[in-house]
Amino acid sequence: MTDEILAVTHLEKSFGDHQVLKDINLQIRRGEVVTIIGSSGSGKSTLLRCINLLEQPTQGEITFHGENILAPKFDITTYRAKVGMVFQSFNLFNNLNVLQNCMVGQTTVLNRTPEAAREMALAQLEKVGMTPYVNAKPSQLSGGQKQRIGIARAVSMSPEVLLFDEPTSALDPEMVDDVLDSMRALAHTGLTMVLVTHEMAFARDISDHVVFMDQGVIAEEGSAEEIFTRPQKPRTQTFLKRYL
Ligand code: ADP
Ligand code: MG
């Protein structure tokens, strides 16, 4: 498939003798929003972390534009700029201000000039409504504001794919919508996104493809319509009933 960006094939991950991912197969195509849903402990974060090389798979293959990202000489730093990640816990640099948070990866990894990095950072901060806070430190911001910085920082790296691991799960309820709005706007730009979330209405609205994970396997997958309107497997039905 020519527009395939990422392919995960027969992926397995164990921690000691606990097998957390079992024979995971997944393709991510350009411009797609792929959402991973499933109960806590089903392996969603581990899958994203394997794709981002924060975890080393035990078995299987992951390719990026056909290239094996698990090969010994693969350039992980460059890859992480192309396949970025937004974390539940924000992972901002607390000693840097908002603007610096959005510039540092650009200057160090992408070798952009400070001027170019600043221009990009300001453009992305404006899109998430954080222009008034460029000089603030993360400790001065709410969770929702921190996460919008996390998104602006990730997008400032001009990624091909952005991975989101429960980006709104640590937020107070009144902060969630601003973050989801920022993500929706990003999806509408055509950015390829892989998203783990429990925001089912949002997932249904935004996703091209939905993957339901259960106990380390992909138990069911399909279009948003297929998974949310007529799930076939009993365990998918049971899981989704909790969100009605
Ligand atoms: P989810 O994101 O779906 O809640 P995770 O991928 O975080 O699930 O975890 C899946 C399973 O893997 C859990 O049983 C968890 O305890 C285990 N696990 C995750 N990371 C580690 C780790 N670094 N060491 C040992 N076990 C882990
Ligand atoms: Mg998780």
Ion ligand 2 contact residues with beta carbon within 5 A: 44-45
Among the bound ligands, the one closest to the CA of 44: 1
Q: Decide if 128 contacts 119 (C-beta within 8 A).
A: no
CB 51 within 8 A of CB 40: no
Measured CA distances, 73 to 11, 54, 108, 111, 142 (Å): 20, 16, 20, 21, 40
Pocket test for ligand 1, best of 13, 14, 15, 87 (most atoms within 8 A of CB): 15
Centre of ligand 2 from the C-alpha of residue 23, in Å: 18
Mean pLDDT, the chain, as a whole number? 97
User: Residue 203: helix, strand or coil by DSSP?
Assistant: helix
Q: pLDDT digits over 28-83, tens only?
A: 999 999 999 999 999 999 999 999 999 999 999 999 999 999 999 999 999 999 99
Residue 165: phi, psi to the nearest 5? Answer: -105, 100
The answer to whether 223 and 239 are in contact (CB under 8 A) is no
ipTM: 0.98
Contact 104, 114 (CB under 8 A): no
Q: Which residues contact 209 (CB under 8 A, 6 or more apart)?
A: 32, 33, 34, 35, 221, 222, 223, 224
Reply yes or no on whether the pLDDT at 85 is more than 90: yes
| Numbers of helices and strands, H then E, in the chain | 9, 10
* Tokens describing residue 180: 């989801």
What would the pLDDT profile of 100-159 be if each residue is shown by its tens digit?
A: 999 999 999 999 999 999 999 999 999 999 999 999 999 999 999 999 999 999 999 999
178-236 pLDDT per residue, tens: 999 999 999 999 999 999 999 999 999 999 999 999 999 999 999 999 999 999 999 99
Residue 242 tokens read as 């909790």
